[in-house]
Structure 1
Amino acid sequence: MDMKNKKNVLVIGANGTTGKMVIDKLARNSAYYAKGMVRKEEQKETMEKLGALPVLGNLETDFSDAFEEVDIVIFAAGAGGGSGADKTKAIDKEGAIKAIDLAKEHGVEKFIMLSAIGAGKPSELDLDEAMEVYYDAKHTADAHLENSGLTYTIVRPGLLTDDEATGKIRASERLQDRDGEITRADVAEVLVQAIELDNLNHKAIEILNERTEIKTSLIRL
């Protein structure tokens, strides 16, 4: 590919389990330059080993420098289970909203958000208190993105597993049956494929592992 046409892709949450998989896929694809946003100096080496340019940034403070010369943003950050309500609000809601606003300021072409299945309408879900906080954060951030004016895709996976990639999913803007799981590796593949699939623009999609090849499932949407 012509080097001039390579897209700079910023991955926020690049040091997370799914984030590292996204970075690895981007770094292996000649169409992209991967930039991995990490919080700590010592995490830079991991990004470099994966083939990405590391940039320091903290979702709870200032991370505007990470957006220099960025074409695409993949937001894969999350406070993680057991981190408490304050941290969830700071990362999954306020941090995501800041990232969306910065993407708009910097003229980013597309923003791809990793969310959670059912986040479009959390009132339909049976949630405990901790999950209510989490889903409120995801729902609010997703809505902010939908109303931002940016070109976006929101990816809402079911329960994440660390199993090997299957390469096969079920995808819909609203899955009727949300029972099921999906591997982080398959989620990472969907996030990367969403960069080029214009039919996913301005859509939120729910995904679970099933029988259809990932690309086939996505281009049907």
Structure 2
Amino acid sequence: MTRIAVVGGHGQVAKHLHIALRRSEHTPVALVRNPDYREELEGLGAEVRLLDIEADDAAAFANAFEGCGAVVFAAGGGPDGDIERKRTVDLEGSLKSIEGARRAGIGRFVQLSAIGVDNPVPQDTEPVWRAYVEAKRDADAALRDSGLDWTIIRPGRLTDDPATDAVRLAPEVEPGEIPRADVGAVLAAVLDEPGTVGQQVDLVAGNDTVADAVRALV
């Protein structure tokens, strides 16, 4: 059993990830700013540690990662219209997580991103969406250059539908939807597959089970 640090541990995908990690006999360590989340997250089987993604520095991230064997960056600034939080959470939070993992001696790092963020952003794109895409793009580029054992998962439009265990996972796919529950299952599955190190893949609903889709990447 390995402790897995989950940055953004109260996020909607992260909650599904905690459940998936417990099923694979890992201990999720949910890193959150608000201590009021503790009871809910412990109910999902997670250990809870406090971390403020925006206010804390890389040293605090390293301390929060103590005793963990891998890091999953699953945080996001959310659809609140706050452009600044796309930088401080989606980009800077990822950068501090990368540096924190280095300081803590953790090599394995899985990042939740978004489909299509490497594509050119049209000039007439809404400013908040542009900020989000650019933050995710730059965070992924930093992780690819980090020297860590990284995997980047880029899901399509997220839904709250029940898990299907029917996905498509490939370096590039047509945009589509995917339940958050299936995204959590994929994040947990790639952590346990060394053959996914160094891979950046898109994720949408499809016809393969999560296990088969991950095996096909190796």
Please give the range of the TM-score, normalised by the shorter of the 2 chains. over 0.9
Match in the other structure for 1:3: none
- Residues 154-193 of structure 1: CA deviation (Å, up to 9, x unaligned): 0000000000111011111112x22x10000000000000
Q: 2:18 aligns with which of 12, 19, 23?
A: 23
How far residue 13 of structure 1 moved from its aligned partner, in angstroms, is 1.0
For 1:173 and 1:105, the matched residues in 2 are separated by 30
Matching residue's letter, 2:120: S
1:193 to 170, 189, 196: 189
Q: Which residue of 2 aligns with 1:39?
A: 33
Decide whether the 8 Å contact of 2:29 with 2:46 is kept in 1: yes
Q: 1:205 offset after TM fit, Å?
A: 0.4
Q: In 1, are the aligned partners of 2:9 and 2:15 still within 8 Å (CA)?
A: yes
Quick check: 1:171–1:205 contact (8 Å CA) kept in 2?
A: yes
- Other structure's SS at 2:140 match: helix
What is the aligned partner in structure 2 of residue 167 from structure 1? Answer: 165
Instruction: Tell me which moved more, 139-148 or 125-134.
Output: 125-134
Please tell me whether the aligned partners of residues 122 and 135 of structure 1 are also in contact (alpha carbons under 8 angstroms): no
SS in 2 for 1:208: strand
- How does the TM-score come out when normalised to structure 1? 0.91
Runs of 4+ in 1 over 6 A off after TM superposition: none
Q: Corresponding residue for 1:209?
A: 205
On the 8 A contact 1:25/1:192 being kept in 2, the answer is yes
Deviation (angstroms), 1:127: 3.8
Match in the other structure for 2:96: 98
Deviation at 1:76, TM superposition (A): 0.7
State the one-letter code of the partner of 2:101.
A
Corresponding residue SS for 2:139: helix
Residue 8 (str. 1) matches residue 3 (str. 2): yes
Q: Counterparts of 1:198 and 1:168 in 2: how far apart (Å)?
A: 22
Deviation at 1:109, TM superposition (A): 2.9
How many residue pairs get aligned? The number is 212
CA distance in 2, matches of 1:127, 1:192: 33
In structure 2, the residue corresponding to 1:79 is in which secondary structure?
coil
Using the alignment, how far apart are the partners of 1:214 and 1:24 within structure 2? 15
Task: Output the amino acid matched with 1:214.
Answer: V
Cα root mean square deviation, aligned: 1.4
Does residue 123 (structure 1) correspond to residue 120 (structure 2)? The answer is yes
Q: Find the aligned partners of 1:67 and 1:217 in 2 and give their Cα distance.
A: 29
SS for the counterpart of 1:194 is: helix
**Structure 2 gap ranges (5+):** none
* C-alpha distance in structure 2 between counterparts of 1:82 and 1:8, whole Å: 31
Alignment partner, residue 154 of structure 2: 156
- Paired with 2:178 and 2:101, the residues of 1 have a C-alpha distance of 28
